[in-house]
A and B are shown apart, each in its own frame.
Chain A
Amino acid sequence: MKAAAFDYVKAKNLVEAIALLSEHGEDARLIAGGQTLLATLNLRLSEPSILIDITAVSELKGISVQGNMLRIGALVTHTEIEGSDLIAQHAPLLTEAAPHIAHRAIRNLGTWGGSLAYGDPAAEWPACSLALDAIMVIQGPGGIRKVSANDFFIDLYTTTLQADEILVASEIPLASSNQSHSFQELARRHGDYAAVGLAAVIRKEKGKVQTCRLAFFSVAAIPTMATKAQAFLEGKSIDAALIQQAVKLAREEIETLADITNSQETKTHLLGVLLERALTKMMP
């Protein structure tokens, strides 16, 4: 099928893009990588009257270290993240997660900001941003505001982004030397949507867990942290018995939501399997 007719405008800078968004409101969609949008247009699942191309907006590009934060521009592609030395050094969780995103052709075009703003509950980046305690930099007609990843994802495909706002970049605290991570994902085929996934980051002090963030994805309507299991692990040294207790807590506290191929029970079981794998990996 072909998309319905639409207008196309290429914004030269961020101010122009925001002005266009404000002017056209709900009838406009931003296009960057287009890896989800173009498919839905061609299937006529949505028919916006205008596409605003933001790929030339330089404010949205690039990976850089600013003070004690790693800044990832919204237009940075999955492939760029996969190959970036800055990311490997300061947010190695992302380097490990990137190959799980779809396939090479999609990773070459799909973007960091697109994945976050779309908020698919099965996507990797929303959960990683939560595990890394990222801050979302958002710009609208009124200026810039910053929102923690904790508050950014509100509901199924719904973020705190307003219709006239653009996600500019994310800021991630630089990984410290006492930090370990694990990325786990189960899918029916490589590159397919995750059945269940986990992005985990642990900081240790003298062998004991100091802080711990366990962000599961594809389990509920939004990426979800196992806050009880996290609180339970903090202050303790990880061993096999502790892992079993944390797994039990996580299975109890996360209310899973079935999708078309996996039941609630399957998801609850699998999230425990992934947590066990992740904690075992981060044990030493």
Chain B
Amino acid sequence: MELNGEQFIAAPVSKVWLGLNDVTVLHASIPGCEEIERISEEEVRAKVMFKIGPVRARFSGRLVLSDIVPNASCSMAFEGSGGAAGFAKGKAKVELIGAEGGSLVRYSTEASIGGKLGQIGGRLISASAKKIADDFFLAFAKELGGDLNIVSDAKLEDKLE
């Protein structure tokens, strides 16, 4: 599954960058986030209650950042396990671009989902991922005190795996 999108946030790039690196802001922005902890400069661990439709599963996951260019871009690899429900892993690239009156956040994500979540939840898994991304950016923009404008809506590509 691929999930790509671009969002405009009415806050300067430096502020958006700080927000994306601030676990307190992330805690408030990630839907269902129960715990989030920064292990090192490059590693974040989190517990998230994934609650959508038929699924209510607690995921514990790890996020490793790389290619960090402050105020510009970074790459991340993530993996999460939801116990009996299944697991998710993937990688994402986030770019921040200065724009008039705010910043553009461009992201591209590749993820694969396995276990029962992949088999049964699979029918709407990409629509679910889009909803979670939308909810995150809405809350994130609010945390930064700005408005959110969706520039190009999250584009989904499904691949049978």
Query: How many residues of chain B are within 8 Å of chain A by beta carbon?
Result: 27
User: Is the pair A121, B127 in contact by a Cβ cutoff of 8 Å?
Assistant: yes
B41 within 8 A of A: no
Q: Let me know if A45 and B117 touch, CB within 8 A.
A: yes
Structural contact, A260 and B53, CB atoms closer than 8 A: no
Q: B57, B84, B122, B127 — which one has the most chain A CB atoms within 10 A of its CB?
A: B127
Q: Which of A95-119 contact B (CB under 8 A)?
A: 118-119
Whole-angstrom distance between the alpha carbons of A155 and B133 in the complex?
Answer: 13
Which B residues lie within 8 Å of A46 (CB)? 54-57
Q: Which of B55, B83, B117, B123 contacts A260 (CB 8 A)?
A: B123
Alpha-carbon gap, A221 to B130, bound state (A): 10
Interface-located stretch among B14-22, B61-69, B101-109, B153-161 = B153-161
Verify B53–A257 contact, CB threshold 8 A.
no
For residue B121, CB closer than 8 A to chain A, the reply is yes
Cβ-based interface call for A16 (8 A): no
Chain B residues within 8 Å of A37, by CB: 54
**Residues of B bordering A, CB below 8 Å:** 52-57, 83-85, 116-117, 120-128, 130-131, 153, 156-158, 160
| Besides A47-B56, A155-B131, A259-B124, 5 new A-B residue pairs in contact (Cβ under 8 A), listed by A number | A43-B84, A46-B56, A48-B56, A259-B126, A260-B158
- Chain A residues packing against B (C-beta within 8 Å): 1, 36-37, 39-40, 43-48, 118-122, 155-157, 193, 221, 255, 257-261, 263
